[in-house]
Amino acid sequence: MQMHDLASVAESFFAPGKGILAADESVHTAVERLSVRGIATSAEMRRQYRDLFFGAEGIERYLSGVILFSDSLQDKGDDGKLFPDSLAARGILPGVKVDLGTEPISASSTELITQGLLDLPERLAEYKKQGSVFTKWRAVIRIDGDLLPTAGAIHENVKRLAIYAKEAQNAGMVPILEPEVLYEGRHSRQRARRVMADALSTLFAVLDEHAVDLTGVLLKTAMALSGHESGKADTPDEVAEDTVAVLLENVPAQVAGVVFLSGGQTPDQATCHLEAIVRRARSAGAPWPLTFSYARALQDEALDIWKGKPENVPAAREAFLRRLALVSAALK
Ligand code: 13P
């Protein structure tokens, strides 16, 4: 695929009122999401969990893309169609998480480093054959007071993001680069903003060193929030002001677009923060389009209703569509 094709795929995620569903939980995380709700965690229940969302009628009104876990590329919905085919038939781009999760950067550290570069070219070729048109790689950046993150962990994580981005573009698939600054912790919003600035400025310097074409990448970012355990509730305007400022200061205008993760915010928080961010970005003349790429904020309400029971599927899908409509309206 030519670079201008990647850029036009990247642009298509930002159709008015549309965004991305992140449904790429690893087996470990999917098992966790089900078991906390008392739902069985077999491969079949995990397939039904995906189908709850992918099989909901009308999602194409709100979704331009869905990020899948690699196993789901080969799974089928109750309609008998492979998930990537059924999404693509409704005009929703199927993509795949290509990192292989995290491990501690050293035996005595709580900082995490993302794995998955070694066999990446082979896996990318396989995912492409299975219908994936874009990809995601998540790096995790943990804040602990003034101690963490270390510059070394940020640097190693963004170096891997850059190598991944180059490989994904070479394979003809748009990379979504996700340096997630975790919401967990007692830090202030100002500290989150400074860490985001460090991570983003390092990321774009290293992408430049690796000659990654920014017109064919998406940035997936957290919002600037006071840590979840800080006891401080930010107002939507505070979140929007700091988030938009840190993005304007550190994200080059050529980047195809910016998408947000929900990170453990409630669905309502993730919705009203997005609304405030979009409004602020517009008034500040931000050069890139913005949208959502949520997992938990889109799925949690539906999962709570579903409980793994077929008779709850219609009500759970209704809750999912209601949340999609709210998040979509936040983009206007
Ligand atoms: P959350 O919206 O639940 O943070 O998930 C988004 C995501 O893709 C994490 O990698």
| Separation CA 72–CA 29 (nearest Å) | 14
> Where do the H-state alpha helices sit in the chain?
3-12, 27-35, 43-54, 83-89, 120-129, 151-170, 189-209, 236-250, 267-283, 296-306, 313-329
Q: What is the pLDDT of residue 323?
A: 99
What is the 3-class SS of 19-88, one letter each residue?
Answer: EEEEECCCHHHHHHHHHCCCCCCCHHHHHHHHHHHHCCCCHHHCEEEEEECHHHHHCECCCCCEHHHHHH
Ligand 1 close to Cβ of residue 296 (< 6 A)? yes
Ligand 1 close to Cβ of residue 97 (< 6 A)? no
Q: State the Rg of the chain over Cα.
A: 19
Query: Which of these, 236, 235, 157, lies nearest to 195 by C-alpha position?
Result: 157
Q: What is the pLDDT of residue 79?
A: 97
Cross-strand pairs, 226: none
Domain ranges for the chain, please list them.
3-330
Mean pLDDT of 270-281: 98
Question: Whose CA is closest to atom 9 on ligand 1?
Answer: 261
Ligand 1 center from residue 180 Cα (angstroms):
9
Give the mean pLDDT of the chain: 98
Residue 1: band (very low, low, confident or very high) from pLDDT cuts 50, 70, 90: low
Mean pLDDT of 79-89: 98
Q: Which two tokens stand for residue 236?
A: 């939507």
Percent of the chain past pLDDT 70, that is, above it, reads 99
| Separation CA 150–CA 144 (nearest Å) | 10
Mean pLDDT of 70-81: 98
Ligand 1 close to Cβ of residue 50 (< 6 A)? no
Pick the CATH number of 3-330 from 3.40.50.800, 3.10.20.600, 3.20.20.70, 3.30.43.10: 3.20.20.70
- Is the predicted pLDDT of residue 4 greater than 90, yes or no? no
Ligand 1 close to Cβ of residue 262 (< 6 A)? yes
Give the pLDDT confidence of 221-247 residue by residue, as tens digits: 999 999 999 999 999 999 999 999 999
Among 111, 159, 220, 241, which one carries the catalytic annotation? 220
